[in-house]
């Protein structure tokens, strides 16, 4: 059990806190400052609710129905009804870590004191997280504007003791049963609370933060696999010289070049082609590896900047301001997050594309500078890694389809009141798929490059660098076999994928190079 506790205050949270709660089961606790802010904002809402003037979200309907003033006798029903009616998601269940991130980020906004919910409502959401109760949320239902409405509604439904949720044992059961077992009393919503629980960019933001963490690891992996491919192709490492990257000062490019230099340090293979088969330059997929991976790094840096701004935000409509005003606004529009989610999908597709080109070069006897066709043991009898590249190519084609932006689309909703939406949730869902695909693409390059390095060492009597040798050992220890005759290949590729996803690839290289960026 994770005993870490994340304290939620009034000034936002950190990416590390989100990951700790979403992925590692950290407990959450509202700070005394947050509880004070919650109670102060609630007093403003209660004062407005007692007045005859209509206030959106407090004493009116919602969206296109905001023209109706709701009397005090119907306001509890109004807030309960918005949760029930908006919990209209369809399709497969969303992953547990996504739902925990969604709930935690909504709690973060509640704790800001700008939503007007009662302290006990926020405390109940914290209790759900701490009890390991995860509402059933479905794939489809958010347009990324007015917040991630349907996903957040399914979370709010569990707060009411309705709908279904997954318990700490992974079994889906009625929410009422799970709450009762955990000693949590269902919430009876008051003015504005139903709306405040639904109106945020929390799902798309949570997925952005998790994708950013995963892409950061994959970027380091991509630098390692690119270096191993360069080495296996007898390419030159002179293109990685710091002075060459200093005159085009993109920070990500310099970082990727430095990683590759560290991995190649001590290699007896780099540049060997110049002795017996001179080449003026290596192919783009080899020579330009730092430029492409570096551009992905810089894109990720921008995406993290946007995510950090969103983490500092209190996204709700209407919001309670410090002077007691309750004002309508458009801060729930997901465009800032949606754009960078799409941007990362484009970058992931290109990183996968260049990795596949290096793999194909290693397998083609006409371009591999002396390696056997498809790295086969007995070419013709054996097919070697021919179909591994097919699998990789299929993944790259999928990445290209996933790079089509969701945020360029919009569809009117709510009787044209909500006539422009961000589709940020859709952008986030496809980015998660893209990150998974990229990990597999890099795994194929890893498996191909390590086999090629072993064949080079055997044929030339020259050894890869110490980092390359460490990676080969780690991959073999993970269960991926070395060169030889044809065999059932899927288990070897699965082992390579585990090596990439678990971080074992990076750890093996860093055991020699020291920390890589």
Does the domain formed by 207-513 have CATH 1.20.200.10? Answer: yes
Which pLDDT score is estimated for 84?
A: 97
Cα separation, 1 vs 214, in Å, equals 23
Percent of the chain with pLDDT over 90: 86
Mean pLDDT, residues 260-269:
97
- Contact residues for 102 (Cβ-Cβ < 8 A; gap 6+): 137, 148, 151, 152, 155, 202, 203, 206
Q: What's CA 283's distance to the chain center, in Å?
A: 32
Residue 337 to residues 12, 18, 206, 330, 435, Cα–Cα distance (Å):
16, 16, 10, 14, 17
User: Helix, strand, or coil here: 383?
Assistant: coil
Which pLDDT score is estimated for 278?
A: 63
Whether the per-residue pLDDT at 401 is higher than 70: the answer is yes
User: Helix, strand, or coil here: 343?
Assistant: helix
Whether the per-residue pLDDT at 291 is higher than 90: the answer is yes
User: What is residue 36's DSSP assignment?
Assistant: H
Mean pLDDT, residues 156-167:
98
Q: Dihedrals φ, ψ of 13, to 5°?
A: -150, -175
Question: Could you tell me which residue, 102 or 324, shows the higher pLDDT?
Answer: 102
Mean pLDDT, residues 16-27:
98
Q: Dihedrals φ, ψ of 391, to 5°?
A: -60, -45
What is the number of other CB atoms lying within 10 angstroms of the CB of residue 393? 16
Whether the per-residue pLDDT at 188 is higher than 80: the answer is yes
Cα separation, 96 vs 166, in Å, equals 9
pTM (predicted TM-score): 0.95
User: Could you tell me the pLDDT band of residue 276, with boundaries at 50, 70 and 90?
Assistant: low
Residue 255 to residues 67, 219, 296, Cα–Cα distance (Å):
56, 10, 11
User: Could you tell me the pLDDT band of residue 472, with boundaries at 50, 70 and 90?
Assistant: very high
What is the number of other CB atoms lying within 10 angstroms of the CB of residue 97? 18
Domain layout of the chain by residue ranges: 5-200, 207-513
> Locate tokens 């994340």: which residue?
6
Mean pLDDT, residues 20-43:
97
Contact in structure between 208 and 341 (CB atoms under 8 Å)? yes
Which pLDDT score is estimated for 91?
A: 98
Residue 284 to residues 235, 239, 263, Cα–Cα distance (Å):
11, 11, 19
Cis peptide before 339 (omega within 30 of 0): no
Question: Which of 26-35, 47-56, 353-362 has the weakest average pLDDT?
Answer: 47-56
Which pLDDT score is estimated for 517?
A: 97
Question: Which of 55-69, 297-311, 334-348, 453-467 has the weakest average pLDDT?
Answer: 55-69
User: Could you tell me the pLDDT band of residue 305, with boundaries at 50, 70 and 90?
Assistant: very high
pLDDT digits (tens, 9 = 90+) for 326-347: 898 999 999 999 999 999 999 9
Mean pLDDT, residues 425-430:
98
Contact in structure between 197 and 226 (CB atoms under 8 Å)? no
Question: Could you tell me which residue, 493 or 72, shows the higher pLDDT?
Answer: 493
**Which CATH class for the 5-200 domain?**
mainly alpha
Which pLDDT score is estimated for 326?
A: 87
Whether the per-residue pLDDT at 66 is higher than 90: the answer is no
The set of catalytic residues is: 56
Whether the per-residue pLDDT at 205 is higher than 90: the answer is yes
User: Could you tell me the pLDDT band of residue 272, with boundaries at 50, 70 and 90?
Assistant: confident
424-438: burial string, b at 16+ Cβ within 10 Å, e else? bbbbbbbbbebbebb
Which pLDDT score is estimated for 275?
A: 61
Which pLDDT score is estimated for 63?
A: 67
């Amino acid at each position: 059990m994770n005993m870490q506790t994340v304290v939620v205050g009034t000034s936002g949270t950190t990416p590390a806190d989100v990951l700790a709660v979403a992925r590692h089961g950290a407990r959450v606790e509202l700070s005394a400052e947050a509880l004070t802010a919650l109670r102060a904002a609630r007093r403003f809402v209660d004062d407005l609710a007692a007045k005859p003037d209509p206030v959106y979200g407090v004493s009116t309907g919602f969206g296109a129905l905001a023209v109706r003033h709701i009397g005090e006798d119907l306001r509890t029903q109004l807030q309960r009804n918005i949760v029930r009616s908006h919990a209209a998601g369809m399709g497969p269940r969303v992953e547990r870590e996504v739902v925990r991130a969604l709930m935690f980020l909504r709690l973060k906004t509640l704790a800001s004191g700008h939503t007007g919910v009662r302290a006990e409502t926020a405390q109940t959401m914290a209790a759900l997280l701490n009890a390991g109760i995860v509402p059933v949320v479905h794939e489809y239902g958010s347009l990324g504007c007015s917040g991630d409405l349907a996903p957040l509604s399914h979370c709010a439904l569990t707060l009411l003791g309705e709908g279904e949720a997954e318990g700490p044992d992974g079994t889906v059961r009625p929410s009422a049963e799970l709450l009762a077992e955990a000693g949590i009393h269902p919430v009876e919503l008051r003015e504005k609370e139903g709306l405040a629980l639904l109106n945020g960019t929390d799902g798309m933001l949570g997925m952005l933060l998790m994708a950013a963490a995963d892409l950061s690891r994959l970027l380091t992996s991509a630098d390692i696999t690119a270096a191993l491919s360069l080495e296996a192709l007898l390419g030159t490492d002179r293109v990685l010289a710091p002075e060459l990257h200093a005159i085009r000062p993109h920070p990500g490019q310099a970082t990727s070049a430095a990683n590759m230099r560290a991995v190649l340090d001590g290699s007896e293979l780099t540049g060997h082609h110049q002795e017996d088969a001179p080449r003026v330059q290596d192919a783009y997929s080899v020579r330009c590896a730092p430029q492409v991976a570096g551009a992905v790094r810089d894109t990720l840096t921008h995406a993290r900047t946007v995510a950090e701004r969103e983490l500092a935000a209190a996204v709700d409509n209407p919001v309670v301001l410090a002077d007691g005003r309750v004002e309508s606004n458009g801060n729930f529009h997901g465009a800032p997050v949606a754009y960078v989610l799409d941007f990362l999908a484009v970058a992931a597709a290109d990183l996968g594309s260049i990795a596949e080109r290096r793999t194909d070069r290693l397998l083609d006897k006409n371009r591999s500078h002396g390696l056997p066709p498809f790295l086969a043991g007995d070419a013709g009898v054996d097919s070697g890694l021919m179909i591994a590249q097919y699998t990789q190519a299929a993944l790259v084609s999928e990445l290209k389809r996933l790079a089509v932006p969701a945020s360029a689309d919009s569809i009117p909703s709510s009787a044209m009141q909500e006539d422009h939406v961000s589709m940020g949730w859709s952008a986030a869902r496809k980015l998660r798929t893209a990150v998974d695909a990229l990990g597999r693409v890099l795994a194929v390059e890893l498996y191909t490059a390590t086999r090629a390095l072993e064949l080079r060492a055997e044929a030339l009597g020259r050894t890869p660098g110490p980092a390359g040798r460490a990676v080969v050992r780690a991959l073999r220890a993970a269960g991926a076999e070395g060169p030889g005759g044809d065999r059932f290949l899927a288990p070897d590729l699965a082992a390579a994928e585990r090596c990439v996803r678990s971080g074992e690839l990076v750890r093996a290289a860093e055991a020699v190079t020291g920390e890589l960026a």
